[in-house]
Amino acid sequence: MLEKVQKRDTRLMFRDKCLSYDERLQKSGLTTLETRRLRGDLIEMFKIFKGFDDINKKISLSSTEVSGHDFK
């Protein structure tokens, strides 16, 4: 749904109907939302592996909250 909003917004920015969505993104200097989410995930993983971010502080669930959960 969010990607649809961005597509519509770039259509409003560029009245040229022959430009594809990717071309409109490139001209406006934007990336797709999927690419931004992937980049954010990679940055978080880098921080965790390099010790800049303490994963134990972010995840503090009691044993009752994860009881029976496959990923506990």
Q: Report pLDDT for 37.
A: 92
The answer to whether the beta carbons of residues 53 and 47 sit under 8 Å apart is: yes
Q: Which helix (H) or strand (E) holds 3?
A: helix 2-13
> Which amino acid belongs to residue 56?
N
Residue with more model confidence, 70 or 5: 5
Do the Cβ atoms of 66 and 72 come closer than 8 Å? yes
What six digits make up the tokens of 72?
A: 């506990």
Give 15-55 pLDDT, tens digit per residue.
777 888 888 888 888 888 889 999 999 998 898 888 887 77
Residue 64 domain-assigned (yes or no):
no
Is 69 domain-assigned? no
Q: Is residue 72 part of a domain?
A: no
CB atoms within 10 A of CB 26: 12
Q: Domains in the chain: how many in total?
A: 1
Q: How far apart are CA 6 and CA 17, in angstroms?
A: 16
Q: Which domain holds residue 33?
A: 2-57
In a domain, 41, yes or no: yes
